[in-house]
Amino acid sequence: MSTPYDLGGRTYVLTGASRGLGLATAEALVGLGANVVVTGRDRGALDAAVERLGAAQAVGVEADNADPGAPQEMVAAARGRFGRIDGLLVSVGGPPGGRVADITDEQWRSAFDAVFLGAVRIVREIAPELSDGGSIALVLSSSVRAPIGGLAISNGLRPGLAMLVKDLADDLGPRGVRVNALLPARIDTERVRYLDGLSGDADRQRAANEKSIPLGRYGRPEEFGAAAAFLLSPAASYITGTMLPVDGGAIRSL
């Protein structure tokens, strides 16, 4: 008899999943028996991810979230290889850092296309492929709840996507499709190590950040992956329109 954590036969599409939080989620889903379609812009990184996940349960699609044709490629790969789509994780690399006064119009436009419009388009195109029990999750940021110094673009775009998650939960709920978001804070990924390095002393910055986290440490990618897999799975069948912090208690607001 199957359980809510038995994902055998289910297929999930995960964008930006050749590394980082997307890959960690793909690993968690595959570990529960699911098939995955992972996307990314770097063919070499995608091939390495598929090898790590296992070619029997994973296929890689070279795609940019900002590309209007990307959703159709994802759907074709999932249906062509596995015959169905049961869920979607939308993740994208973090936008460039900087204060509002220092960011150019072009940087705003590029980030909007990839982070905001790309996510909206992918959800819009793949949601009709999901049936009752389907699930969508967006990887956002703790900046949904409170601004992060030096990350003006993230502070501007992520809260808007969070409100769209609420809107989509209303729209897709009657079809039995759930929509949620995850709010990672300091997870030990290349992106976070890069951000720490901007201070000029990454180790010192990390130590300072860890002091503000109730659990006293950065999260591990697999801890994020487990939380994301839960939201995407039938185990979370009555959870929708929710922002799930994966932050070790770092977000102080409700």
Show the low-confidence residues of the chain (pLDDT under 70): 1-3
Cα–Cα dist 115/141, whole Å: 12
User: What's the pLDDT tens digit per position in 130-180?
Assistant: 999 999 999 999 999 999 888 999 999 999 999 999 999 999 999 999 999
Which CATH number is 11-186+221-245 given?
Answer: 3.40.50.720
Cα–Cα dist 218/185, whole Å: 8
For the chain, what are the domain ranges? 11-186+221-245
Whole-model pTM: value is 0.95
The H or E element that residue 35 is part of is strand 35-40
Write out the two tokens for 229.
Answer: 């897999």
Sheet containing strand 135-139, edge to edge, reads: 58-62, 35-40, 11-14, 87-90, 135-139, 178-184, 243-246
